[in-house]
């Protein structure tokens, strides 16, 4: 059973599990913490798993600008406030993976272990496909929108994959009822859409190293983790172990959920 935190003013979150190590899951661009609900429930017997909505996503507050350092610091502050005397296994997918890496590098005292899912500490050219998603969502006329099906038809002209459309349209919310009803994007589409170059980037300043154990999960069918990226990963995370998941693309946890949960369980509970 998920429990809401007492104070969601900083970041919206839900926690599953009542005992065991602390785990936080950080979603990718346009995602929400609830995208990992199945994973959290599967691990709740062995860990306390917190699902976080990153800033400008889900139910979390919006920002005036985008920076990975800023995101990492807000997550780190949330972790420190949630469990002041405990350390966390920090798990991040895609954009959330970059945030997770920076949490470990900037605030290593908070991080027991790190799991990076299908992203690397390098500029990410593969994120360019998200520009199409931004264009599609911006073409939805929220003022004239009658229902979610109509929005799906608009987005489908640029995003034919129904699974990806469903992922994007989870962010569409309807406030009010009857003639007073209004549609809105729950995430900060204006900021995130304008910040794609920054989201694709990686900080260039010296970052030091994180010396704890690191699991690097990559989809075999994904372009986000290339052999050429391994030296950059090892330079920052000397104890990294790469595991490639067969029959999985960029969304490893959705393509191979059982494999993902099994690998994460072993990593989180390792002595």
Domains of the chain plus CATH, in order, are: 13-124+201-269 (3.40.50.1820), 127-194 (no CATH)
pLDDT score recorded for residue 270: 87
pLDDT score recorded for residue 112: 98
pLDDT score recorded for residue 98: 98
Tens place of pLDDT per residue across the chain (271 aa):
454 443 445 899 999 999 999 999 999 999 999 999 999 999 999 999 999 999 999 999 999 999 999 999 999 999 999 999 999 999 999 999 999 999 999 999 999 999 999 999 999 876 668 999 999 999 999 999 989 999 999 999 999 999 999 999 999 999 987 777 799 999 999 999 999 999 999 998 889 999 999 999 999 999 999 999 999 999 999 999 999 999 999 999 999 999 999 999 999 998 7
SS (H, E, C) the chain: CCECCCCCCCCCEEEECCCCCEEEEECCCCCCHHHHHHHHHHHCCCCEEEEECCCCCCCCCCCCCCCHHHHHHHHHHHHHHHCCCCCEEEEEECHHHHHHHHHHHHCHHHEEEEEEECCCCCCCHHHHHHHHHHHHHHCCCCCCCCCHHHHHHHHHCCCCCHHHHHHHHCCEEEECCHHHCEEEECCCHHHHHHCHHHHHCCCCCCCCCCCCCEEEEEECCCCCCCHHHHHHHHHHCCCEEEEEECCCCCCHHHHCHHHHHHHHHHHHHCC
pTM: 0.93
pLDDT score recorded for residue 5: 41
């Amino acid at each position: 059973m998920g429990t809401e935190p007492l104070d969601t003013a900083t970041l919206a979150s839900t926690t599953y599990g009542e005992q065991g190590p602390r785990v936080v899951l950080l979603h990718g661009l346009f995602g929400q913490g609830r995208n990992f609900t199945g994973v959290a429930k599967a691990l709740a017997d062995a860990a306390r798993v917190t699902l976080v909505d990153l800033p400008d996503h889900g139910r979390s507050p919006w920002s005036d600008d985008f920076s990975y350092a800023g995101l990492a610091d807000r997550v780190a502050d949330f972790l420190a406030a949630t469990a002041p005397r405990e350390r966390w296994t920090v798990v991040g997918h895609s954009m959330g993976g970059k945030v997770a890496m920076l949490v470990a590098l900037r605030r290593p005292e908070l991080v027991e272990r790190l799991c990076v899912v299908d992203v690397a500490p390098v500029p990410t050219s593969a994120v360019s496909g998200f520009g199409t998603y931004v264009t599609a969502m911006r073409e939805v006329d929220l003022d004239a929108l009658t229902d979610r099906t109509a929005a799906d038809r608009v987005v489908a002209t640029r995003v034919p994959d129904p699974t990806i459309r469903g992922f994007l349209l989870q962010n569409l919310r309807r406030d009010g009822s009857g003639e007073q009803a209004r549609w809105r994007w729950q995430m900060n589409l204006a900021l995130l859409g304008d910040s794609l170059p920054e989201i694709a980037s990686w900080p260039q300043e010296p970052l030091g190293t994180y010396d704890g154990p690191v699991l690097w999960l990559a989809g075999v069918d994904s372009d986000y983790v290339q052999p050429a990226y391994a030296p950059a990963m090892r330079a920052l995370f000397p104890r990294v172990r790469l595991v490639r998941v067969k029959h999985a693309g960029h969304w490893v946890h959705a393509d191979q959920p059982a494999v993902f949960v099994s690998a994460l369980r072993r990593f989180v509970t390792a002595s």
